[in-house]
Every structure is written in C-alpha cells, then in structure tokens.
Structure 1
Amino acid sequence: MKGIPTKTIVFITGAFVSHSCWDKWKDYYERRGYKTVAPAWPYKDAPAEALRNSHPNTKIASIRLPALVNHYASIVKALPERPVLIGHSIGGLIVQLLLQQGLGAAGVAIHSVPPQGIFTFKLSFLKAGWGPLGFFTSTENTFLMSFKQWQYAFTNGMECEAQKEAYYQFAIPESKLIVRDTITRAARVNFENPHAPLLLTAGSADHTIPASLNYANYRKYRHSNSVTEYREFEGRNHFVLGQSTWETDATYILEWIEKQSG
C-alpha cells in the first residue's frame, strides 16, 4: 500500500457546534508532529456565546451544503500538500464528498451524517433530527437547540453540569437548509468510485446518528476496491469530540492514520 505523504490535518466541523470543539484534538495531533487547521464555517468565526446572541442570524441561515463543500475544498487546495481530512457529523459527510473529488490523502468520518439515500427510521434519529429540519418554519431564520434538545441530541448519558458546560461552550445556531441538503443530491456519493483510505467511526449511544446508520454508510463502499474501515466505540454520544473519552478516540484515529502511512 502506498503511504500517506502528509503531516497536515484539516478538521471539519459539524452542524450546531463551534469549530472550537476541535481545540483539544488540534493540540493532541500537533504534539505528535502534525500541522492542523480547524476552519470555521462561513459566518461562524466567533465565540459560541456571540453566535447564540446573534440568533436568529440570516447569514448563517443561508448556508447551503454545496457552498460549504466548496469552502472546505478551497482551503484544502490552498495547502502545500493533500491533508488528512477529519470531520464530525456533517463534517464527516463533507470528508466523504471531498474524497470523491480526490482532495484528501485520507479521511476520517466521525459519527458522520450519511450521504444521500442512507436512512433509518430509528426513533432517536427521527426525534433528534425533527427540530433541526425546521419543517413548517421559516428557513430565513436559524435553528438554535434548546438545552433540553441538546441534552437528547448531543450529550445524552452525561451528568447535567457537564451537559450545561458543553452547551455554553459549543452550542450555536444553525441553518435549516443545510440540514435538509443532506438528504438531497447535494449529498450524493458514488460509492463504487476508488477513494483515498477512509475510516468511519460510530458511537453506541449516539441518538443523532445511530451506529447502525454509520455501519450502513460503511457497507455502501464495499465495491469501491479502496481501503474503507469501520469502528464502533461503546458509550459515545454525538458530543464524542468533547466526551471524557475523546483522547481514546483520537489515539485510535492517529494509529489508523499512521498505519496507512506505513
């Protein structure tokens, strides 16, 4: 196997959270010799509290998936080498879409929103996603999770004080349109295309993106004749990047990256 000729990582943030959710991850990988960037989404390069105070935010409400993919594609193309792409949730979907364009040396999709055509009727998925889809409400306004919604969709299983701290540090308003775009052709992947090595990770306790959905996503790649791997972690919810177990996940991913480089 040809190794990954890069020591650069681009972290791609998901919906509803500040890009500062990657701060510990950036430090972890930088201490191990990697150069890292975790760019904000357009209109979101501000502290989480400031963004919450801006709700309803019409600029954030206008964000669409194709433009967001182009935003990250431009960042990746400007780098001196093809990076490893690590994304969470919608960021994991963007990783898959960028690999389709040949823009990453490898990709890691953490609790990824699946590409078009992969769906589940699991109750937790429908309950967590109904509010963000914003049906019967104006798409000109952003959606901001209530603390109760955050407890269910992101931080289930954590102690209440930890849930509150996570909400204060990271929760931000979101575009309803981008959530809807994930079930359209904007999120289409040709699973038979060859691609750079791809790891999909899942969490047994994730209400928003159940592990079964990530596994179905992984299975779709079985005819690509490319390296595609899957790992489910016990007890991880959708706030996986900030759970107390985050370093275990980061270590596993680092070892996977370096295995591809061997």
Structure 2
Amino acid sequence: MTAPLPVVFIHGLWLHGSSWQPWIDLFRDEGFAPSAPGWPGDPDTVEEARQNPRSVAGHGIDDVVEHYARLIAELPARPLVIGHSFGGMIAQKLLGQDRAAAAVAIDAAQIKGVLPLPLSALRATLPVFKNPANRNRSVSLTEEQFRFAFGNAIPARESAALYERWAVPAPGKPLFEAASANFNPRSAAKVATENSGRGPLLLVSGGKDHTVPETVTRATLKQYRHSDAVTDLLGFPDRGHSLTIDSGWHEVAAAVLDWLRKHGTGDAR
C-alpha cells in the first residue's frame, strides 16, 4: 500500500497556522497526509501569539524558507506545498528549489520581477510601512485594517469573526524585503521562475483582493514564461484575501484538489 502523499500548508502574514485546520481535515479525508507547521517563532495557539508578539519579530523570507526546507527534509516524500499570501511566495521558492512535488500559491505575495503595485496593496500594508522601525518588529492589524486587507469581499460580521478567531501579529521584515526586491539583485523575494524541471504550479487569485490584487498574480504568471513546467492560473472573481478562511473556503479547496488530481501526484524521493 502506497503511503499518503504529504501536504504542507504555509500561512501568510497576520494569520495563525491553525487557520488551515478545515483544509487539513478535508485533505486528510481525501487520502493525503497534511500538516500546517507555523513560521519560525510561531507559538502553538492564536492566544499565545497575541500575548507574545516579539516571538516572530525579525524573521525574514530566507528564514522562513529554510525553516520549511528543514521540515520537508524530514518527510518521507517530497510534499505538495500550498501557501497563502506570503505563504504563497514561500511555496513558490520551495518549488523552484525542487523541494516540493507541486505547489499552489493562493493570493501570493509579490515576488522579485513583478512590477504592479496597486494602491489597495499599499493601503493594506501601510500599518507596516508607516514606520521604518517595523522592519525588525512584529505588527498587528486592527479589526478595521483586517477588514480592508482580508475581509472586504465578505459581510462585516464575518470579517470581524475571522479577525477574532485567527488574526495574530506578523513580522514586518518580509514586507520590507518584498518592497525592495526589484532594486536588490540578491533579494530574498527572488524565485527560480526559469526552472523547467520543477513540479507543477497553480497560482490562485481573488478578483476583489485588496492585499494581492489580481493584477499582481497575473504579473507573477508572466514571470514563469521562460519555464516549460506546468504553470496554471485560477481566478475567483468575487473573492478577497480571506478566501482560504472565510465561508467560501471549500470552493477554493475543491478547485485546488481537482487541479492536484490532474498534476500534483509528485514522486517519492
């Protein structure tokens, strides 16, 4: 009997890893071996993360990539990697490094080479960029800021409930690294987009996303034009940045599963 294929879920800024629990339950029922390990410094629970915001301060993109690379190295096979927001960037980097069998990047943060920077994205990240010292700090969102950045496409009451359940402080450093990526030849936000030997990649976008607008995801797709590997784009026109955690998460997860069944079986080490 073949062992279940590992799936590693990677959260983004301002959400705790436990926000992937519904996806974990679904993927386990579908025969996978899913897990959602946190970023370096992440406490085990939302409550602990809120009480100890300094635990994640100062961690940058390379720290996070190496953290997940070490975890992946302990798995029995190369996993499927599914990331949201900055987790989507991390998933792309791991795939480009041939550490994953396939990857899904949902509303993924801007990688090096992507030029569009819509005003809504600037507003969504203003809580970090308004103070340069936030590069080495952790930053929390207010409920109103969360509403704009995550919950703009869902009812206000649902956005408030998601904020109360999942929102946690996040390190500012990854945002500063991504913002300067196109001016830094050694940027941590650089992804091996030209790798034709990597596994399949699915980019997922929300048409109403303020934090990672659809134009950013489409520009990301163009960065892969020199690779012969499978790179697909799937859009949800009426969804915002909360699409992995709000009441419509199952629609997104089902579409991801359909794509994985076609492309993401991977191969064992």
Asked whether the two chains share a fold, i.e. TM above 0.5, the reply is yes
Relative to structure 1, is the Cα distance of residues 139 and 114 closer, same or farther in structure 2, using a 3 angstrom cutoff?
closer
Return the match for 2:251 from 239, 248, 252.
248
Answer yes or no: is 1:239 the counterpart of 2:242. Answer: yes
**1:72-221 equivalences in 2 (<5 Å):** 72-183=68-179, 184=181, 185-194=187-196, 195-221=198-224
Q: Which amino acid aligns with 2:80?
A: V
Supply the distance in 2 between the matched residues of 1:34 and 1:69 (Cα, whole angstroms).
Answer: 22
SS at match of 1:112: coil
1:209–1:238 CA contact under 8 A, matched in 2: yes
Deviates more, 1:219-228 or 1:45-54: 45-54
Supply the distance in 2 between the matched residues of 1:128 and 1:259 (Cα, whole angstroms).
Answer: 35
TM-score (norm 1): 0.92
Supply the distance in 1 between the matched residues of 2:11 and 2:159 (Cα, whole angstroms).
Answer: 19
How far the C-alpha of 1:37 sits from its partner, in A, is: 0.8
Supply the distance in 2 between the matched residues of 1:204 and 1:40 (Cα, whole angstroms).
Answer: 27
2:16–2:38 CA contact under 8 A, matched in 1: yes
Relative to structure 1, is the Cα distance of residues 231 and 138 closer, same or farther in structure 2, using a 3 angstrom cutoff?
closer
The residue that corresponds to 1:223 in the other structure is 226
How far the C-alpha of 1:136 sits from its partner, in A, is: 3.5
The residue that corresponds to 1:30 in the other structure is 28
Relative to structure 1, is the Cα distance of residues 151 and 93 closer, same or farther in structure 2, using a 3 angstrom cutoff?
same
Supply the distance in 1 between the matched residues of 2:128 and 2:163 (Cα, whole angstroms).
Answer: 16
Supply the distance in 2 between the matched residues of 1:242 and 1:156 (Cα, whole angstroms).
Answer: 13
1:134–1:143 CA contact under 8 A, matched in 2: no
Return the match for 2:15 from 9, 14, 17.
17
Supply the distance in 1 between the matched residues of 2:207 and 2:264 (Cα, whole angstroms).
Answer: 29
Q: Which amino acid aligns with 1:192?
A: E
How far the C-alpha of 1:100 sits from its partner, in A, is: 1.4
Supply the distance in 1 between the matched residues of 2:235 and 2:168 (Cα, whole angstroms).
Answer: 27
Unaligned runs of 5+ in 2: 182-186
Deviates more, 1:17-26 or 1:43-52: 43-52
2:4–2:33 CA contact under 8 A, matched in 1: no
Unaligned runs of 5+ in 1: none
2:200–2:264 CA contact under 8 A, matched in 1: no
TM-score (norm 2): 0.90
Supply the distance in 2 between the matched residues of 1:138 and 1:198 (Cα, whole angstroms).
Answer: 32
Q: How many residues align?
A: 256
How far the C-alpha of 1:115 sits from its partner, in A, is: 1.1
Return the match for 1:7 from 1, 5, 8.
5
Deviates more, 1:228-237 or 1:154-163: 154-163
2:10–2:87 CA contact under 8 A, matched in 1: yes
1:48–1:168 CA contact under 8 A, matched in 2: no
The residue that corresponds to 2:38 in the other structure is 40
Q: Which amino acid aligns with 1:36?
A: P
Alpha-carbon displacement from aligned partner over 1:49-76 (angstroms, at most 9, x marks no partner): 3322334x2x311211111100001111
Relative to structure 1, is the Cα distance of residues 138 and 224 closer, same or farther in structure 2, using a 3 angstrom cutoff?
closer
Supply the distance in 2 between the matched residues of 1:121 and 1:68 (Cα, whole angstroms).
Answer: 23
SS at match of 2:69: helix
How far the C-alpha of 1:6 sits from its partner, in A, is: 6.5
Supply the distance in 1 between the matched residues of 2:100 and 2:121 (Cα, whole angstroms).
Answer: 29
Return the match for 1:70 from 48, 66, 69.
66
